[in-house]
Structure 1
Amino acid sequence: MPLLSPFVLDALVGFCLLSAIITYSLGIFVYAQKTASPIHRLFLVLTLAATYWGLGEFFIWQATDFNGFLFWLKASSVWTIVFALTVHFIIAFTDAIPSKGMQRIFILGTGLYLPAVIFALIGILTDWIYIAAYEPGFGYVYLPVLTNPVCQIIIGYYICLMVWAVYAIFLSWRRAPHGRIRRQNYLVCVGVATVIAFGFLSAVFFPAYGIYAPNLVFIGIVIFSMLIAYAIRRYGLFVLSPETAVTEILGTMPDGMVLVDQNGHIIAVNQSATEIFGDTEAGLVGRDIGSLIPDGAYEDIRQTIFWGARVSDFEATLPNEIPRVVSIAGSMVMDRDEKPAGTVLIIRDITERKSSETALRIANEKISLLSQLTRHDINNLVTGLSGYLTILEDGCNAEERGEYLSQSIDIVDKIIQHLQYSQEYQEIGSKKPVWEMLGTMIGRAVENLPHGGVDIRVEIIPVEIYADPLSEKVMYNLLENAIRHGETVTRVSISTNVEADGTLVVVFEDDGIGVGDSEKEKIFRFGYGKNTGFGLAFSSEILSVTDIEISETGTEGKGARFEIRIPCSGWRCLR
């Protein structure tokens, strides 16, 4: 029989140990990159099993007696499980079996792992697959029992299985778009084919010619590992792969993704979709999409898509606990036979954008109205001023001149106030509303306001409110009004409470003289008040940009009490 030289034999045995070291290191490296990824975990299990097999083959050829040789030969019978894991990895990598859930588990269990375990037990408990023998002048060797029907069945089974695996990854390579994914598939395909080729040499070719040698499959495993390492470094394998490109990238999308079958039932959702709909993935999968998108919106979308068109920027309001406005895009999903299989919807939360648009529109309307009122008021004031100046020009006594001059100065002051207020008012809505911490806004107002001996107490919950950037002026105006007009004020307290409907109420309360019942509504009108008459009216307009209301609910003689009511959609707790 042909014999290998000692040098070649030692080199082949060395490949067994080398493959064990390389596969172990590669598996740990890949797993550490993304421990939560199923395909990373599967690759780790595969490399650990291959490491064990490589070590077993190495120790086979280190044995110095028959019992030791036979022990390691039996221990290496787990090679059948390594092949099953390899095929499983290819299935996961290429998605060669599109079935999900229990169906996929059944296919893998009965088609791969159950036969692999049975074949491993046959190898451990019998001599039907391999036999150990002593060859004079060479030492202990093992050979496949090619005459045994069980051995023939096992070899034939794994040849068919590996040919199918190579074909599956070859198809995945051909179908992949040009670029990184295609090159990844190509390298994995070449690597798997190399392992199979060297395995065929050891399992079939060499035994047919009576050549004794360590299993050459480990040379193929070393080459496979080098190709995988190159694909990781050069083309981002396990970072951007067929598996990660579909599940992980969709999972990190800021927009919601919903896959719906032909009957309108949800098949899959990503994390963003669960946040938009306010439910878990388990709670959404299986539900009718029509129960989540109101007013027949999904039916309109479905009909549009059914006639071959794509939907983009379809706006709808979701009936969540806190209503959300969303923009929906969608298109038909085709199966492998190019037949309609369902619909994919991309859902973007545009609630804040719509709120900003509404706030800007309202602000522009208010600015337009104010411009008309201001123009009308200034026109009346100028007319009055012109009359006084005409009288002064025509001549009058000293007493009358002083009176008319004083009236003229008052009119000029009012015109200046109107112009100043008009300039400040134009800032309302000029910037879109923002989320800002209520405590920070109040803190700055207190810091900027000289309040002498007045005790200002702030006891509020940590929240952010959605309001016009000028809303800090509201806090300042309320505190200033309390100190300036409260007369007997010694204390101002600011507190919050949440009502049953989710409304947040911010209360400014003092111990001054209060506001009379007849003035509670008038104080929010333009021009009414003890100073400019603009402060509280200005505050009310700023808050109304984001549908926040303000009212006075105190008791005259006991103190003023201003309530700022923020709707549930306009605030969020920071706890």
Structure 2
Amino acid sequence: MILFPYFELAASLFTLLFAFIIFSRHYENRTARFFARFALLAFFASIIEYSARIAFTLELAGAINRVSASLWAFVFPAFAHFCLIFAKKNSFLKSKIALFVLYLPASVLSFLFLFTDLMYKRHDIYHFGIANQPAPFYWLFAINTFVYVLWGILVLLKKSKTSPQATVRSQALFIAVGSFFPAVIGIITDELLPLALGYRPFPPTCIFGIAVMNFVIFLAMRKYALFSISPALAADIIIETMPDALLVTDLEGRIILVNDEAHKFFHVPKEEIFGRHIDKLFEKKEEYIKLYEEVVVKNIEIERFSANLVDPLGEKIPALINANKMKDSLGSTLGVVYIIRDSL
């Protein structure tokens, strides 16, 4: 009984598992979402290659292998894409040529795998199962793999030296080193040696290499909290743990966000504050109008504005208020943020 294909099956499922874990736990993080897509693509390439390994006939193995190889052509450009997202190379990724640079060569290779006989000479039965024997044009695939893996690793290494955050530097270096070795082993054993020798001296390792790369991401996630703190999550944590009451209103003054400290400050549940017009919390409405005009109309960031507030139960609360505009990424004003503390 040949056990090697079943180890490939286990490694393929391992890759799928990490795609699921990363996406389900960190779907709000762009880098995590793209890594899950990369891992899912690698899983499909791996599981189809496993199917070719145990095919009933060489002809069937060849047909299945065309599909798996066409997917493998995209796996390593997707890895480079993941590295670019991780390193926040947004200027390049938003450019018109980004997708062409990343995926046009893979598209050409995929076409060659699917619709021509230029990439493989034949399929042979080895002690580990059925495998292909590359034709000379397979060098194109080897170059494609090498270039995109190298690109991704260099991007990560640069990030490991230039990022101002120590955690990000550690993450980038860990992923770069952890991805380098399985990728190099795979390029040598699966691509260069079969091309140079005319046969496969070693069983294919690409499925295991991809599984190892996924495992490296998992370790980075566990060891360095990769993906665990997104900007949205960090904002939520800061809002709910800050020692001052925080109110956010729309431009009409309607309260649209309240933190936990606010309900302590105003002595009522947050639900009784949410949706109110904020001027109802001021003892003198003219104080609110003055504050609003300075922030919204005059565009002044206010610090330590003194006013008497009134909670929904009617109790007066002397307060110091910091206030500023809340803007979107384009600079449009969405509302006003108020940070309030007792002045006593």
In the superposition, the TM-score normalised over structure 2's length comes to 0.67
Match of 1:191 among 178, 203, 206: 178
- 2:40 corresponds to 1:48: yes
Match of 1:233 among 222, 234, 238: 222
SS of the residue corresponding to residue 237 of structure 1 reads coil
Deviations 1:64-123 (A, max 9, x none): 21222112111202101111211111110112353464x2xx233211123222211210
- 2:104 corresponds to 1:114: yes
- Provide the rounded CA distance (Å) in 1 between the counterparts of 2:185 and 2:97: 28
**Unmatched tracts of structure 2, length 5 or more:** 240-245, 253-292, 319-344
Residue 141 to residue 23, structure 1, CA distance change in 2 (3 Å): closer
* Aligned residues of 2:123 and 2:131 also touching (Cα < 8 A): yes
The amino acid across from 1:468 in the alignment is K
Residue 128 to residue 100, structure 1, CA distance change in 2 (3 Å): closer
Q: Which residue of structure 2 aligns with residue 93 of structure 1?
A: 86
* Aligned residues of 1:172 and 1:185 also touching (Cα < 8 A): yes
SS of the residue corresponding to residue 142 of structure 1 reads strand
> 1:336-355 to 2 correspondence within 5 Å?
350=303, 353-354=304-305
SS of the residue corresponding to residue 29 of structure 1 reads helix
Which of the pair has more CA radius of gyration? Answer: 1
Deviations 1:518-546 (A, max 9, x none): xxxxxxxxxxxxxxxxxxxxxxxxxxxxx
The amino acid across from 2:54 in the alignment is Q
Match of 1:161 among 140, 148, 158: 148
Residue 130 to residue 121, structure 1, CA distance change in 2 (3 Å): same
- Provide the rounded CA distance (Å) in 1 between the counterparts of 2:192 and 2:152: 19
* Aligned residues of 1:57 and 1:215 also touching (Cα < 8 A): no
Residue 49 to residue 136, structure 1, CA distance change in 2 (3 Å): closer
Residue 85 to residue 251, structure 1, CA distance change in 2 (3 Å): farther
Match of 1:219 among 204, 208, 217: 208
- Provide the rounded CA distance (Å) in 1 between the counterparts of 2:66 and 2:75: 15
- Provide the rounded CA distance (Å) in 2 between the counterparts of 1:44 and 1:139: 29
The amino acid across from 1:165 in the alignment is G
- Provide the rounded CA distance (Å) in 2 between the counterparts of 1:111 and 1:127: 25
Size of the aligned set, in residue pairs, is 270
* Aligned residues of 2:123 and 2:132 also touching (Cα < 8 A): yes
Identity %: 18
- 2:301 corresponds to 1:326: yes
The amino acid across from 1:127 in the alignment is D
> 1:34-45 to 2 correspondence within 5 Å?
34-45=26-37
- 2:294 corresponds to 1:317: yes
- Provide the rounded CA distance (Å) in 1 between the counterparts of 2:215 and 2:235: 30
- Provide the rounded CA distance (Å) in 2 between the counterparts of 1:138 and 1:158: 24
The amino acid across from 1:204 in the alignment is L
Match of 1:80 among 70, 73, 84: 73
- Provide the rounded CA distance (Å) in 2 between the counterparts of 1:90 and 1:173: 12
Q: Which residue of structure 1 aligns with residue 187 of structure 2?
A: 200
- Provide the rounded CA distance (Å) in 1 between the counterparts of 2:310 and 2:61: 75
- Provide the rounded CA distance (Å) in 1 between the counterparts of 2:295 and 2:126: 82
Q: Which residue of structure 1 aligns with residue 257 of structure 2?
A: none
The amino acid across from 1:36 in the alignment is E
Residue 206 to residue 97, structure 1, CA distance change in 2 (3 Å): farther
In the superposition, the TM-score normalised over structure 1's length comes to 0.42
- Provide the rounded CA distance (Å) in 1 between the counterparts of 2:34 and 2:169: 21
The amino acid across from 1:94 in the alignment is A
Match of 2:311 among 413, 431, 435: 435
SS of the residue corresponding to residue 73 of structure 1 reads helix
Q: Which residue of structure 1 aligns with residue 53 of structure 2?
A: 61
Residue 132 to residue 10, structure 1, CA distance change in 2 (3 Å): farther
The amino acid across from 2:143 in the alignment is G
Q: Which has the higher contact order (CA 8 A, sep 6+)?
A: 2
Deviations 1:417-470 (A, max 9, x none): xxxxxxxxxxxxxxxx3432xxx44xxxxxxxxxxxxxxxxxxxxxxxxx7259
Q: Which residue of structure 2 aligns with residue 123 of structure 1?
A: 113
Per-residue deviation, 1:231: 1.6
SS of the residue corresponding to residue 212 of structure 2 reads helix
Q: Which residue of structure 1 aligns with residue 159 of structure 2?
A: 172
* Aligned residues of 2:133 and 2:194 also touching (Cα < 8 A): no
The amino acid across from 1:31 in the alignment is F
- Provide the rounded CA distance (Å) in 2 between the counterparts of 1:205 and 1:153: 15
Deviations 1:492-528 (A, max 9, x none): xxxxxxxxxxxxxxxxxxxxxxxxxxxxxxxxxxxxx
Per-residue deviation, 1:30: 0.8
Residue 97 to residue 325, structure 1, CA distance change in 2 (3 Å): closer
Deviations 1:370-422 (A, max 9, x none): xxxxxxxxxxxxxxxxxxxxxxxxxxxxxxxxxxxxxxxxxxxxxxxxxxxxx
Deviations 1:6-60 (A, max 9, x none): 8xx743x344212211111111111111323322221121111111111112111
Residue 49 to residue 468, structure 1, CA distance change in 2 (3 Å): same
Per-residue deviation, 1:178: 6.5
Q: Which residue of structure 2 aligns with residue 339 of structure 1?
A: none
- Provide the rounded CA distance (Å) in 2 between the counterparts of 1:143 and 1:36: 43
